Amino acid sequence: MSVEVYKLFIPKDEECIAIIREIRWSDKYICPYCGSKDVVLKGKERYKPYIQRYRCNSCKRHFNDLTGTIFAKRRIPLGEMFYIIKNLKNSSINQISEELGRDYRTVHSFAKEVMKSSEKDNILKKLLETNWR
């Protein structure tokens, strides 16, 4: 399969956010800073309108769907991070970085962090358990 064909299977950021939101907020919105559930919606991210913003009424801090997750503040696009996660079990880092056209070290360091956090990170655990088709 060519690299171009593989690209088709990189999910859109919007789809990734929808999945993250479903796993993360399945019960209730929880402030990642203080753990309070007294959280209100606070509009969308300006340049990524599919990302919801929130404000905690207890500690008054703002956060969004990605704050405090492994996906926050990364250089790699969200869809590519999902791609790495879903191919971790069946592909080598070499293969994945080639398919994504990314530097080996970039993919490797993200993959390493995923494996390190997978036990305690509920979102990662769910994603790694998912049978991607």
Asked whether position 40 contacts Zn ion by CB under 5 A, the answer is: no
- Alpha carbon distance 18, 94 (integer Å): 29
From the CB of 55, what's the least distance to Zn ion, in Å? 9
- Alpha carbon distance 131, 27 (integer Å): 23
- Report the largest interatomic distance among the alpha carbons of the chain, rounded to a whole angstrom: 52
Which residue in the set 6, 9, 33, 50 belongs to the binding site for Zn ion (CB under 5 A)?
33
Closest CA to 16 of 102, 74, 99, 95: 74
From the CB of 122, what's the least distance to Zn ion, in Å? 19
Asked whether position 36 contacts Zn ion by CB under 5 A, the answer is: yes
Stretch that binds Zn ion, among 14-22, 51-59, 72-80, 83-91 (CB under 5 A): 51-59
Which residue in the set 58, 95, 122, 130 belongs to the binding site for Zn ion (CB under 5 A)?
58
Closest CA to 38 of 69, 61, 67: 61
Residue that is written with structure tokens 């069946």 in the block: 90
Give the nearer residue to Zn ion in terms of CB position, either 16 or 31. 31
Q: Which residues bind Zn ion (CB under 5 A)?
A: 31, 33-34, 36, 56, 58-59
